[in-house]
Structure 1
Amino acid sequence: MKKWLSILFTAVLVLSLFSGCSKNDETASGSTNKSNNNKVEGKLTIWTFFGQVKDMAAQFEKKYPDAKVEVKVFPGDQYQTKLLNVLQTGKDVPDIFDLERGYIDKFINSKYAANLSDMGAEDLVKDYVPYVQALGRDTKGDLKAISDHSSPGAFWYIRENAKKYLGTDDPEKISEMVDSYDKIIELGKKVNKDSNGKVHLISHFGDVYNLEAYNTKPWVKDGKLTIDPAWKKNYEIQKEIFNNNVDAKLEFFSAGWGNAINDGSVVLTAMPAWAGFMVDNKDNKANGKFGVAKTPKGFYMGGTYRSIYEQSPNKDLAYKFIEFIASKEWQQHNLEATGNMPGLLTVYKDNLETFKSPMFGDQNILKPYYETVKDIPAYKPDKYGEEVLSKWRKVAGQGIKDNADIKEVIKDFKKEVKNTFPELKVD
């Protein structure tokens, strides 16, 4: 990064010599203005669906007092449509726009997102978690968006509950007890029996979907639907979980799911690191109450990425903002302020032995996340992946409840995919 900045600053000085005393440094929309002392000036507009961007902007302005950042936050269910409309019309387009993991591909593979690789961003992500930097790349492999976090997941548990039903609250011991689906099933049967059916080991058989979603091969290759054999095996595992009451039949983010995190009716809840708001911590009553254990496979959920508008008149300042969110400085602040896990592996390493979060007491909670995020495959997003995955969840989920044969499930799944994406080859 230092090398890149040195090159940039040198270029700015050279350009200033050739431009003489030009007064056209600032447009009506507030473009970046860098004086000879390299002061960062100007105004940016950012569109997002994520309220915490306001803190991001405040920290950026604190670092660069002559820069101003206007953040416009829109409801998540309206955001994508609003953004697409302004991009297509070219009117009132923000300099930077946020993108969610579920639909990032359609924007970064369009003409609207600037090529960050051409602006020097490869240096920003060279120490990133592999899958985090890969998700910001277009089909050609160029960086078009960058995130400041990795959104990994793990099993969260109430310590007292774990002692009662698992015999320990030690995160490493619990991680070993559930490091395979076979172990989860056997342990789940025991918990259900010991509690007379009142307590379950996990929330829902759908946890397996979440763990496997990005650890399996992409659904489409060379225009053809491909089903990783792992999904067939996972289907049988999920049927066992469902039929043996290993799970509480509480779907992710349902009302009952949220209650179970707090009341102990589920021992291990597969949680993304950013979901701490689901815990009832009124008057800090959850402090020291929870622990974090590894899941059989590393997984992540969601992710917010930032792109620069290709036609922005403020590209230099916008890139400075991207550079800021990709820095240790911001990601350390974000970790401490929100508990959201960083995108930089170096920030993980810096905090492995020291970072504590009040809710998790003395546990070094970065360890279980760090030990799993490194192994998640680094796949670029594509136009089919998320929607095809959702169709598999729907069809296979119903099949599990109906105790259907996997062959029937696959048949129904292929029909759904073909109806939605007629251009795909489906055997």
Structure 2
Amino acid sequence: MKTRKWLTMATSVVLAASLMAGCGNNGNNNSAAGDASNSNNGSANTGASNGGTKELSGKLVIWTFFDQVKDMADQFEAKNPGVTVEVKMFPGDQYQTKLLTALQSGRDVPDIFDLERGYIGKFIDSKFLTDLSAMGGDDLVKDYIPYVQELGRSSDGKLRAISDHSSPGGFWYQKEIAKQYLGTDDPDKISEMVNSWDKIIDLGTKIAADSGGKEHLIQNAGDLFDIEAYNTQPWVKDGKLNIDPKWQTIFETQQKIRQGNVDAKLPFMSAGWGNALNDGSVVLTSMPAWAGFMIDNKDNKANGKYGVAKTPEGFYVGGTYRGIYDKSENKDLAYEFIKYIAGTEWQQHNLEKTGNMPGSGKVYESNLDTYTSTFFGDQNILKPYYESVKQMPAIKADKYGEDILSKWRKAAGDGITNNLSYEDVVKNFKKEVKNTFPEIKVD
């Protein structure tokens, strides 16, 4: 999303342990939803927001770390004048702790709360989340992008949280720079030129050589990590650490990228990284669709300046999900809100106003030939995003995945920087996992 911090927020081991203790204890959920408990429970399937005849009324409280939720609330209230939606927003670095404290105490708990991709796996199997499948939620997401739908499901397959968007990525490039170094600014031609990592290495090596090392094809060898992060097997299977063999290929490819001077070696999200995106000293930058805030558009100087091409495999970064507190006294009204944000009207509004890509495949398809964005001129940018995001494997979130993924990123990054062997990287990585998660069996 546009205003979300790029890096997913880390959760401490203590926090995770506390959450799982809460998941297994019904006694933690014996209180009502605090001051959000006065509404009409009988309005679920007949409210004005879904074309029914009975008008919705009551009050909802939503907790979030994301400022665009206020717009959701405003739009929902406009359609349902009898409803008041109170949005409480907390700083991202405080949000998880505050939410967990409220859930475990059962006091002042919101009716609806947001969960970020970086830690949804720690909440998705908890008893704090309402079973949305039992309320008809499966029908709401039947046309969704597969990966987006699956991340909202618990390990038993029940839908427990829904996102209103997807977060696909692509290679962003400045058109003039692309013409200079790639010979074209056509997104389809560029997508073909970089549709494999072998092509990227060959092309990047040539660009570095021809420019005397002044120009690089990509920002960092770590871009490969970001693109492949969710195209691999889960890190834990049957209680054992599982290192997908694909990670060796990825690491060895990163080594080739570094050795060929293909990358600018710019640290992730550093000042130099952002400068390169804006000054064109790097040809391609892997970016999620929501990251337009990184572009310097003072006096509209970036209007029509950029193009977006497909990456070798589809990827996404981030994502925000909403669930209903299982002990809320306003479940039916809360479900109407969830239904609204899962629907076409809101997702179309969100796309047009913010550029956030929809979670619904139907909304993608209805805009494929018509949607344009300020930075990208007349390019139909939904096409590369949609083609890429549909490829993403639908994998459930779990309580370990994001933390272990971050440990692999650090171990592999250190390996590239210090020219370590893959075997040494794996050894260091396993040690970190074992120290942090002693309950996981590590061979």
- TM-score in terms of structure 1 length: 0.92
Is the Cα contact below 8 Å between 2:308 and 2:384 reproduced in 1?
A: yes
Task: Give the CA deviation at 1:242.
Answer: 1.2
For the pair 1:298 / 2:324, whether they are aligned, the reply is no
Cα separation, partners in 2 of 1:202 and 1:28, compared to 1, 3 Å: closer
Is the Cα contact below 8 Å between 2:37 and 2:328 reproduced in 1?
A: no
Match among 315, 324, 332 for residue 348 of structure 2: 332
Map 1:189-204 → 2, pairs under 5 A: 189-204=205-220
Between the aligned partners of 1:408 and 1:128, the Cα distance in structure 2 is 41
Between the aligned partners of 1:110 and 1:34, the Cα distance in structure 2 is 26
Is the Cα contact below 8 Å between 2:42 and 2:332 reproduced in 1?
A: no
Task: Give the CA deviation at 1:160.
Answer: 0.7
Task: Give the CA deviation at 1:181.
Answer: 0.3
Task: Give the CA deviation at 1:416.
Answer: 1.0
Task: Give the CA deviation at 1:34.
Answer: 5.7
Is the Cα contact below 8 Å between 2:129 and 2:326 reproduced in 1?
A: yes
State the Cα deviation string for residues 233-280 of structure 1 (Å, max 9, x = none): 111100111122111111332221111111101110000011000001
Identify the residue that residue 100 of structure 1 maps to in structure 2: 116
Identify the residue that residue 9 of structure 1 maps to in structure 2: none
Match among 284, 288, 305 for residue 268 of structure 1: 284
Match among 254, 260, 264 for residue 270 of structure 2: 254
Identify the residue that residue 374 of structure 2 maps to in structure 1: 358
Map 1:24-423 → 2, pairs under 5 A: 29-32=37-40, 37-423=53-439
Is the Cα contact below 8 Å between 2:36 and 2:111 reproduced in 1?
A: no
| RMSD (Å), alpha carbons | 1.3
Between the aligned partners of 2:165 and 2:96, the Cα distance in structure 1 is 21
AA paired with 2:366?
D
AA paired with 1:153?
G
AA paired with 1:32?
N
3-state SS, counterpart of residue 146 of structure 1: coil
Between the aligned partners of 1:140 and 1:28, the Cα distance in structure 2 is 29
Task: Give the CA deviation at 1:81.
Answer: 0.6
- 4+ residue runs over 2 A deviation: 27-30, 32-37
Identify the residue that residue 4 of structure 1 maps to in structure 2: none
AA paired with 2:294?
M
Is the Cα contact below 8 Å between 1:46 and 1:97 reproduced in 2?
A: yes
Between the aligned partners of 2:88 and 2:216, the Cα distance in structure 1 is 42
Is the Cα contact below 8 Å between 1:33 and 1:40 reproduced in 2?
A: no
3-state SS, counterpart of residue 217 of structure 2: strand
Task: Give the CA deviation at 1:69.
Answer: 0.7
Cα separation, partners in 2 of 1:244 and 1:93, compared to 1, 3 Å: same
Is the Cα contact below 8 Å between 2:36 and 2:61 reproduced in 1?
A: no
Is the Cα contact below 8 Å between 1:220 and 1:226 reproduced in 2?
A: yes
- TM-score in terms of structure 2 length: 0.89
AA paired with 2:139?
D
Is the Cα contact below 8 Å between 1:34 and 1:40 reproduced in 2?
A: no
Task: Give the CA deviation at 1:28.
Answer: 7.9
Cα separation, partners in 2 of 1:313 and 1:401, compared to 1, 3 Å: same
AA paired with 1:277?
F
Task: Give the CA deviation at 1:66.
Answer: 1.3
State the Cα deviation string for residues 20-51 of structure 1 (Å, max 9, x = none): xxxxxxx9832136679411111111100000
Between the aligned partners of 1:90 and 1:256, the Cα distance in structure 2 is 46
Between the aligned partners of 2:397 and 2:40, the Cα distance in structure 1 is 31
Between the aligned partners of 1:48 and 1:225, the Cα distance in structure 2 is 32
Between the aligned partners of 1:256 and 1:109, the Cα distance in structure 2 is 40
Is the Cα contact below 8 Å between 1:34 and 1:41 reproduced in 2?
A: no
3-state SS, counterpart of residue 422 of structure 1: coil
Alignment size in residue pairs? 401
Gaps of 5+ in 2: 1-34, 47-52
Larger radius of gyration: 1
Between the aligned partners of 2:425 and 2:301, the Cα distance in structure 1 is 45
Between the aligned partners of 1:118 and 1:83, the Cα distance in structure 2 is 24
Identify the residue that residue 441 of structure 2 maps to in structure 1: 425
Identity over the aligned pairs, expressed in percent? 70
Task: Give the CA deviation at 1:108.
Answer: 1.8
Gaps of 5+ in 1: 1-26
3-state SS, counterpart of residue 108 of structure 1: coil
Task: Give the CA deviation at 1:194.
Answer: 2.1
3-state SS, counterpart of residue 321 of structure 1: helix
3-state SS, counterpart of residue 358 of structure 2: coil
Between the aligned partners of 1:316 and 1:161, the Cα distance in structure 2 is 53
Task: Give the CA deviation at 1:403.
Answer: 1.0
Task: Give the CA deviation at 1:125.
Answer: 0.5
